[in-house]
A and B are shown apart, each in its own frame.
Chain A
């Protein structure tokens, strides 16, 4: 019964979405207030209806209603409750419903918190947002309906893919979708501004929090996915350059570029048309990502099932929205005259550099991801593009980005003096280079990756500190320390996010450069040593889990005779899904992870055992978390909480703190 009501609610929301995509647009065009005003209640209604629909599906999962096809295929009565709930979005149909839910959530948020927007702009934003919702609701209802019933309900379900039964992955899709879909707000604002024909500082100020929020969610989502891959797939890789991962990296890069260029629009009213273009492209790439993941066109490590029909539908959505927005852009862009001028050496120029580097690195990822398709269609050659390509073609741009970041972050607006800006940065640069050289000397004969990582990481992190310090003005140390607390949150956020990037860059380089591995056959009771650790395979036993059988190894890790950890790598079999999985035994540490994997039993007795030492692995997740935290800090800045328009008027004339 609930399922039918949920289905009905979704259809009702679909109808409202169609109306909301048209009526406010006409109203804004004709200047009819009442037609514009319907957008807000409609956006709220959509959100509540889809929430009900989502709740109905969740209810079916929680109560294991096996008359619903989707529940049968993705759930089981023995499954722990958290995975019954995460099973709702652990499949194509349910995840599309989550996608639609988030779309309507953002639409409703724009309606609730957009009271400071001009009426016509708000009506247009909500209409554009709703048109995206229409497309995805149609997709869900017509090609991937989660509410289908079965004539003969089976006794039990076939279980969720065991790999997905994991807390990290339970949360990964919601965050990723919040990021993907959050970019639709930037898109809606861009298209609404194009229809409106006006882009000004206020527009930049409105669009930034949405982009920032989307970027924060994307950062968390990508980090969660990467962390999951690290501990779950059993060889400790954190990034595969797989099409599906690239699909999330491209919008992330574009969102990063967009939130920086929107600053220029807000502060200096320059780079307007570029920012609009970025907003369109950022959402375009998140649609391309959806297409890649759901069409199965590219062979990927982890994709949803391939289904050409769905792929074509998403391609049509992509075509309509990108084609329409870009055409509108071509028509209206020349009208957007930049106001602010800036010198060659200035914050604006540095942000242009940032944008160019981010856009180009994204372009490289795009080419590498799509190349197999192009090669197959044009040259009839089946091939894949591997990590060496991306490492070689992508990394230089990120090195460049990290190199200019501390300087650009401290350059003044309009006109800068490189010598003046570099003054506080020289000691930092020298220190970073000295540390890099030291590491280089200590690790004789290994790749330059480690030292370069140390250099860049230190440079960016310390540079972020210097940036924050410079915000405290001049004078005595005590006074500056006191003022540090009163530096706007946006500045704290900026420094924190930049430092997080520095830590991430360092961790990636360090992890790749210094990891070590060992594979061998170990008898029970045997001790072997690897990279300074003595590891003993103490025992291998069969253990029963809630919905799986496990073969669990008990391994003791010692270092210099001191006990470090007892790890239990497992091989599990989930009978309901008929699927085995490997669970690594990991001892997380500040400077290294010890990562143990139990392999096959050997004919001559004993077990195959793999040992990895992964240096600085935790720094990678910590760095990403700090980046996200920086975004949240910036988002909590006071000026986003007070009505933006009013605050702007109040501050007019007053010396504005050059936040960001």
Chain B
């Protein structure tokens, strides 16, 4: 009886290690295209990423640059104070997307234009995405204290989906 219990225990440990190894391998494999780096506009202009790389861009929507109502696409500039990057997005923007507000977009940088597949504009009037805050700080355009954290903010995403 004792040996049967021991045998079972060895089998379970073996099974668990196999599962763990399989998951680690899968995690490593999936991370190759499941990870999106975050870049600020300045970083993008300093070292433009490959057109095949999906990454995230973050910054403020430059005032006076949103072109809506020109077909299904929306165009605007994202700025961190140091550099501007043009963004194209085919989709319905999140409700709280506005000029001068923070945004984070996921997509690719092709021929000097960021083609966004997803745009995140999280805030309750005063909220700023953390990455955007860091990017603005790096460019010296952020004073602590201007970001007041309200409570209970739910953000909104928009993506064209599918694609």
Contact = CB atoms under 8 A, between A and B. Distances in A.
Interface of A: 73-74, 90-93, 160-161, 163-164, 233-237, 240, 296, 299-307, 338, 341-342, 344, 352-353, 356-357, 359-361, 363-364, 367-368, 371, 381-393, 396-397, 515-517, 519-521, 571, 577-582, 597, 599-604, 608, 610, 612
A383 B37 contact: yes
A305 B56 contact: no
A600 B69 contact: yes
B68 interface: yes
Interface stretch (B13-21, B44-52, B80-88, B108-116): B13-21
B105 to A, nearest CB: 12
Of B38, B149, B153, the most chain A CB neighbours within 10 A belong to B153
Contact of A235 (B15, B150, B160): B160
Contacts of A341: 1, 4-5, 8
Nearest to A161: B154
A301 B122 contact: yes
B33 A388 contact: yes
B152 A382 contact: no
Given A237-B159, A341-B8, A389 B153 contact: no
Of B71, B150, B154, the most chain A CB neighbours within 10 A belong to B154
Contacts of B159: 235, 237
A392 B30 contact: yes
A383 B58 CA distance: 11
Given A235-B92, A236-B161, A304-B151, 10 more contacts: A161-B153, A164-B152, A164-B154, A352-B15, A356-B15, A360-B19, A360-B22, A368-B34, A383-B38, A519-B90
Nearest to B25: A393
A74 B124 CA distance: 12
A344 B20 CA distance: 20
Main secondary structure of the interface of B (DSSP, over half): mixed
Nearest to A242: B157
B19 A306 contact: no
A504 to B, nearest CB: 20
A218 B91 CA distance: 33
A224 to B, nearest CB: 15
A386 B35 contact: yes
Interface residues on B, range: 35 or more
B4 to A, nearest CB: 5
Given A338-B5, A341-B4, A389-B34, A93 B151 contact: yes
Interface string B125-154: 101011100100000000000000111111
7 contacts: A385-B34, A385-B36, A387-B34, A519-B90, A580-B96, A600-B69, A603-B70
Contact of A600 (B11, B68, B131, B151): B68
B106 interface: yes
Contacts of B72: 519-521, 599, 608
Contacts of B70: 602-603
Nearest to A274: B12
B104 interface: yes
Contacts of A610: 91-92, 160
A386 B69 contact: no
A305 B150 contact: yes
A434 B120 CA distance: 42
A304 B152 contact: yes
B23 interface: yes
B35 A383 contact: yes
Given A341-B4, A582-B92, A392 B29 contact: yes
B161 A517 contact: yes
Nearest to A244: B154
B9 to A, nearest CB: 9
